[in-house]
């Protein structure tokens, strides 16, 4: 029996597909390269990702319909991951988030520094 998704689903269930840094990085890598990629290519490209995390991320993306997995009948089997139409659309969104982050990085860093400075000089609460 399949699960039916209601349009009234909580927002968290709708956006969890994109709410992970590795999801954003994988979508970005596949979008930038414009072609399906092998697991080992993605792993080399995504500095810091573990084999386990990349496997989990790719499975989640495949489950959500953003990535398709193609297995070629070779010895050993060759597996490639590519974006679906839905994945291409999501890639546009994540690309916009990345561009915004780069454009506003200095402002974000300054705000963090200001916040940290204020927190460091805040008076101790009275007990």
Structure confidence at residue 91 (pLDDT): 86
Which structural domains are found in the chain, ordered by start? 11-120 (1.10.10.10)
Whole-model pTM: value is 0.74
Q: Per residue of the chain (127 residues), give pLDDT as tens.
A: 445 555 666 656 566 767 788 998 999 999 999 999 999 999 999 999 999 999 999 999 999 999 999 999 999 999 999 999 999 999 888 888 888 988 999 999 999 999 999 888 867 778 7
Paired residues of 79 in beta bridges: 71
Which helix (DSSP H) or strand (DSSP E) does residue 82 occupy? strand 78-83
Residue of 85, 96, 78 lying closest to 28 (CA atoms): 96
């Amino acid at each position: 029996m399949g699960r039916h998704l209601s349009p009234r689903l909580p927002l968290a269930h709708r956006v969890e597909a994109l709410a992970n840094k590795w999801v954003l990085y994988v979508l970005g890598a596949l979008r930038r390269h414009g072609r399906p990629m092998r697991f080992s290519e993605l792993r080399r490209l995504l500095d810091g990702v573990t084999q386990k995390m990349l496997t989990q991320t790719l499975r989640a993306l495949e489950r959500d319909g953003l990535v398709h997995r193609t297995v070629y009948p070779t010895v050993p089997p060759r597996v490639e991951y590519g974006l679906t139409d839905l994945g291409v659309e999501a890639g546009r969104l994540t690309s916009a988030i990345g561009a915004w982050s780069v454009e506003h990085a200095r402002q974000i860093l300054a705000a963090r520094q200001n916040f940290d400075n204020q927190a460091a000089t805040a008076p101790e609460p009275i007990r």
